[in-house]
Amino acid sequence: MSLDFKPGAFDFFRDETFRESFTYRNSNPLRFPFPFDRDDYMYSVNMEPHVPGRKGTAFEHILDVDEHYVAEMIDRAKVLADDPLRCQSLPHMTLAGWDLLELIMEAKARDYPQWFSLTKNGNRWHWVNRPLGIEQSFTFLDESTLPYGPFEYITRQTQGDFSLQDERDNDLWMDAGMITSQADWSLDFDIGMSFMEWHAPVPLAHEKGVFDRALKFLLKLQHGAPVRRFNWTMTVNPLLDTAPETYPKWGPTKTTLTQENLGAKQHLRVELQSLYRLPRSNAIAFDIRCYLCSFEQIVTVPKWARRLHRVVRDLPDELAAYKGFLRNRPAMVEWLSKYDDGAPTSPGWWPDD
Amino acid sequence: MLTPVTPTIRSRPVYAPLEPRPGRLHLMVADGEGADALIELLAKANNRSEILSSAHVIYAPGPNGTDRSDVLKALGLRQFFRAPTIPALLPRLVRVLADAHMGTQFYLAGTEGLIGQAEREIMATGFPMGAIQKEHRGSTVRRVQCVHCKGITENVATDPFKCSHCGLNLFVRDHYSRRIAAFQGVNIDAEDPGQVPEPVVRFK
Amino acid sequence: MSGGAKLRVRVDSVTPVNDLIKRFRFVALDGSDLPAFSGGAHTVVEMDDHGTRRLNPYSLMSSPADRSAYEISVRRDDQGRGGSLFMHRHVTPGMEMTLSYPVNLFPLDTRARKHLMIAGGIGITPFLAQIAQLDQFGGRFELHYAARSRVLGAYMDRLTAAHPSQVHCYFDEENQAIDLSRLLATQPIGTHLYVCGPKGMINWVLSSAEAMGWPRLALHHEEFLAPGTGLPFEVQLAASGKTITVGTTQSLLEAMEAAGVDAPYLCRGGACGQCETNVHKCDGKILHRDHWLSPEEHAANAKIMPCVSRFEGKTLVIDR
């Protein structure tokens, strides 16, 4: 696989960037998974079954392949070329990597047959990824037949960050990860940590018992019954790779916001997190899929405009600081207030028809 | 006395006084004031002579110069080894682990740098981390990894400090990686280059 | 959903292994591959025993690499509540049955330098799948397997043929016993121990290992409890507003299900924690029989595991 995929091979995939020129856009903002189902926000476990949902939304299939697919994969390849430590798998996690490869290939071939195909003859598998121009014959469970380990191979072709949790001693240990579109956390530092350890820096939620409940829930997660939840943060510019490693590069952009450029530059960053029990390894795959939408695109939906203003305005300082936008909150609230007429909003996150 | 740790976030290691446990080999790794923790451990044991006759102590002076090797040597241990520094101590530990058996008890005592690096070698054998006893004694200087360049600076005393590898000004988090055996250092003036607060001595 | 995702299967074959044990082979009803699983996993088999619904957990013993079928072995328990008797007497090739998706409460720690396995009797079944997994992906192991007699040593032939230097067999009838203290003293650091068998054997192995300085975190065991029998008792279900009576050979979980109350479960053997239920009022004594709650939780009587635990006394009100 090289860096010169051709986004033009299918009209569907946008030719766009997540760096320098920042040409990323959503063709249809209504497709964006807006994460707030009410006018305020507090950490909660908020898990629900991860089942296919409404047609034409990010929930239609369990693995959403959208118009940004090819551009995101080009961006990931660039991140890995700069810093290979963004993808790591501890030695005992290879089998879990195969589990994930099987899950992703089967789902994509089933849900997007126009772009992906998987044919099996016993353990001899043939995989075609047309958008990325990849064709690969390999032996399932034999690492020597793939150009990368199974985990890296498949996550170089799949939107979303992934981590694999090994279950031991009534805990989940994050022992592998492909992390290139993260909300400011370091895989290289956190790999090998327990569930509580890698969530340690999150404020307020531990005291409320959120992670104790989440861990208890996930330890009982069953194969065949995946779950999902939302998380969110804020990013200046549509930058996927907000890693602590490169913070000195992107941190200064937080000081560039003005009332004139805020609508275009400030993005709501949503993580649609889905969790799967893997069959052969008994590990849990954690898919952290990042969606970005500029404030000016969000406010085209009146309900979302009102609600985003209220959430950002009323969020506790600790959370705004943890999410890295405390310094810009006043400017964001000022900008958003112009789109909030104070009218009540309907429950749930779907836009009003 | 055990060095107290102010509870902060859940990735920050916590420590407890060493307790005698049954075992066929008692492997004790310590630096500096950690020697006192071993002495108190032996004083607590009702089978002191049995533990002494199956104890192997691997010791280095602390980063502050504290060296109790004479006291340890006088205990009558089955085996005692003094290394001048932690890096010089680790190959000995790895060699001992290579043919150790289950039924070995591990006791780590001293600075967090010593504890973390010894723990990492023991965990590499597949031995459960939760069964390794650890007591923090003496200096609180930290081993810190720069999250940007990945270089590790030993014996960090001030916050913020300058990364000894890339030169960035880093603040010291309580977030700790067992795999790296280090705390995390993050650039403090990334958003406002040049605005670095005056360093304060936080770790002694 | 109670019990999680389900699999519809057909009984492909029933094979007597010895006087007490039969092996059952299941294939997917629609002929497709069954889900892959990890060594040590179990499935819950649903039985319709002439109107009584029975759900029993059994370890999967077939190779995890083989998705064409699942195999379990069932030891007949003439004194039990009837699940194993139903399997032995009434389950025949061609029958359609429902299984739960595999769940693993007894996995290998794949970081271990070596796996030391100790099996007693029918406790051999999870090890068969684990050994098949280690065969495929590598991993050092040693199995010590005790049975009452040569005749009752199920699968010893195939194990010793495939792994002559790793498998060691012992027979009570011939006064052979595992030399546990020698075994526990000679394992390389980083070894994990796994034991599955009768309660007495599990206790013997775990307490010996702990006394010799093995950390609890390196010791793994699996013991499914049969719900057991007892005196009938009455329970008020606060959330559904029902009062039910639990019969002598019925579990509280089964009685709730029979009353149409949807209660969560996975293992039905007191091990997984899924059915944990809050107790609103307890005027009497809860007979805790699970491995899930801590001794403190047992003493507090604020929680009950309806899959195995019972009650004696005046009033029990639970949150279902």
Q: Does A204 touch chain B (CB under 8 A)?
A: no
* Contact (CB<8Å) C212/B22: yes
The reply to whether residue B128 touches residue C218, judged by beta carbons under 8 angstroms, is yes
Q: Cα–Cα distance between A156 and A81 in angstroms, integer?
A: 12
* For residue C298, pLDDT beyond 70: yes
Tell whether C94 and C146 lie within a shared domain.
Answer: no
Chain A residues with beta carbon closer than 8 angstroms to that of B145: 189
Q: What is residue A9's predicted lDDT score, i.e. its pLDDT?
A: 58
Asked if the model's pLDDT at residue A44 lies above 80, the reply is no
Q: What is the mean pLDDT of chain C?
A: 92
Nearest CA-CA partner of C72 in C109, C102, C116, C107: C102
Considering only the beta carbons, identify the residue of A188, A193, A247 that sits closest to B190. Answer: A247
Q: Between these two residues, B95 and C295, which has the higher pLDDT value? A: B95
Q: How far is B152 from chain A (nearest CA, A)?
A: 12
Q: Are C185 and B103 in contact (CB < 8 Å)?
A: yes
End-to-end CA distance of chain C: 14
In this prediction, residue C3 carries a pLDDT of: 63
Instruction: For chain C, list residues whose CB is within 8 angstroms of any CB belonging to chain B.
Output: 109, 111-113, 184-192, 210-218
User: Percentage of residues in chain C with pLDDT exceeding 70?
Assistant: 98
- For chain B, domain boundaries: 25-136, 142-201
Question: Count of B–C CB contacts within 8 Å?
Answer: 62
Number of domains in chain C: 3
Tell me, yes or no, whether C228 lies in a domain. no
Choose the final residue of a domain: C199, C222, C245. C222
- The β-bridge partners of A231 are A271
- In terms of CA atoms, which chain B residue is nearest residue A204? B9
Per-residue model confidence (pLDDT) at position A6: 55
Residues C35, A279: C-beta atoms closer than 8 Å:
yes
| Mean pLDDT taken over chain A | 93
Query: For position C237, what pLDDT does the model report?
Result: 94
Q: Taking CA atoms, what residue in C is nearest to A218?
A: C274
Q: What is the mean pLDDT of residues A134-150?
A: 97
Q: What are phi and psi of A185, to 5 degrees?
A: -140, 150
Q: Which chains touch C (3 or more CB pairs under 8 A)?
A: A, B
Query: Are C136 and C202 members of one domain?
Result: yes
Write down the pLDDT at residue C242: 93
Comparing A125-139, A218-232, B140-154, B171-185, which segment has the lowest mean pLDDT?
A218-232
Domain residue limits at C198:
114-222
On the question of pLDDT at A3 being above 50, the answer is: no
Burial class from Cβ neighbours inside 10 Å (0-12, 13-18, 19+) for residue A144 reads exposed
Sheet holding B55-60, edge to edge: B79-82, B55-60, B25-31, B104-110, B133-136
Mutate to test the interface with B, among C189, C206, C220 (most CBs of B within 10 A): C189
Could you list the mean pLDDT of each consecutive 10-residue stretch along chain B, which spans 204 residues?
78 94 96 97 95 97 96 96 97 97 98 97 95 96 97 96 97 95 96 93 93
**Residue C227: inside a domain, yes or no?**
no
Task: Tell whether the model's pLDDT for residue A333 goes beyond 60.
Answer: yes
Scanning every residue of chain B, which has its alpha carbon at the shortest distance from the alpha carbon of C219? Answer: B128
Residue C43 bridge partners (DSSP): C58
SS3 A187: helix
What is the average per-residue pLDDT within A136-159? Answer: 97
Is residue C130, in this structure, part of any structural domain at all?
yes
Integer angstrom CA distances of residue B132 from A120, B24, B129, C228 = 46, 15, 6, 39
Contact B106, B83 (CB under 8 A): no
Could you tell me what percent of chain C has a pLDDT over 90? 77
In Å, how far is A155's CA from the nearest CA of chain C? 21
Q: Looking at beta carbons, which residues of chain C come within 8 Å of B19? A: none
The ipTM (two decimal places) reads 0.94
Residue that wins the pLDDT comparison between A170 and A44 = A170
pLDDT at C271: 76
Nearest to A224 among C5, C41, C110 (CB): C5
CATH number at residue C272: 3.10.20.30
Are C218 and C238 in the same domain? no
- End residue of a domain, out of C160, C189, C222: C222
Inter-chain residue contact C5 with A225, CB threshold 8 Å: yes
Distances (CA, A) of C174 to B148, B162, C149, C171: 66, 72, 8, 5
Interface touch C5/A168, C-beta < 8 Å: no
Reported CATH class of domain B25-136 = alpha beta
**pLDDT, tens only, C123-154:** 999 999 999 999 998 899 999 999 999 999 99
Largest separation between any pair of C-alpha atoms in chain A: 61
- What pLDDT score was predicted for residue C37? 96
Q: How far is A314 from chain C (nearest CA, A)?
A: 35
Residue C119 shares a structural domain with residue C218:
yes
Token pair 């533990």 is at which residue? B51
pLDDT at A5: 55
Contact A252 B193 (CB under 8 A): yes
pLDDT higher than threshold 90 for residue C274: no
C35, C102, C110: residue with CB nearest A92: C110
Question: Which residue in chain B is spatially nearest to C181 when comparing CA positions?
Answer: B103
C296 contact partners, CB below 8 Å, separation of at least 6:
none
pLDDT band at A161 (very low <50, low <70, confident <90, very high): very high
Cβ distance of C35 and A224 shorter than 8 Å: yes
Residue A324 has pLDDT above 60, yes or no: yes
Taking an 8 Å cut-off on Cβ atoms, the answer to whether B125 and C189 are in contact is yes
User: Residue C187's pLDDT is what?
Assistant: 98
CB B126 within 8 A of CB A90: no
Size of interface A-C (CB pairs under 8 A): 52
Q: What is the pLDDT of residue A284?
A: 98
Residue A2, pLDDT above cutoff 60: no
The reported pLDDT for the residue numbered A56 is 87
- Subunits next to A (3 or more Cβ pairs <8 Å) are B, C
- Provide mean pLDDT across the span A20-46: 90
Q: Tell me how far apart the alpha carbons of residues A342 and A174 are, in angstroms, rounded to a whole number.
A: 44
Judged by CB atoms closer than 8 Å, whether chains meet at B102 and C214 is answered as yes
| Same-domain status, C97 and C119 | no
Place of tokens 């889900």: C35
Mutation site for B-interface testing, chosen from A186, A202, A208, A234 by largest number of B Cβ within 10 Å = A186
Name the DSSP class of B22: -
| Structural domain contains residue C137 | yes
Q: How confident is the model at residue C263 (pLDDT cuts 50, 70, 90)?
A: confident
Nearest to B175 among A169, A201, A251 (CB): A201
pLDDT at A130 over 50: yes
Chain B positions in Cβ-Cβ contact with residue C190 (cut-off 8 Å): 102, 125-127
- Enumerate the residues of chain A whose CB falls inside 8 A of the CB of residue C273: 216, 219-220
Q: Which residues of A are catalytic?
A: 229
- pLDDT over 60 at A347, yes or no: yes
Confidence bin at A322 (pLDDT 50/70/90): confident
Q: Copy the structure tokens of residue A209.
A: 């018992």
Domain C-terminal end among C182, C202, C222: C222
Most confident of A205-219, C15-29, C256-270: C15-29
**Is residue A36 predicted with pLDDT exceeding 90?**
yes
Position A1 scores a pLDDT of 44
B73 near C CB under 8 A: no
Checking if the pLDDT of C157 tops 60, the result is yes
Chain B contact set for A190 (CB, 8 A): 177
Helix (H, G, I), strand (E, B) or coil at C56: strand
Note the pLDDT of residue C265.
Answer: 83
Tokens of B58: 């691997």
Nearest beta carbon to residue A280 from set C5, C36, C109: C36
Q: Do A222 and C101 lie within an 8 Å CB cutoff?
A: yes
- Rounded CA separation A148/A163 (Å): 17
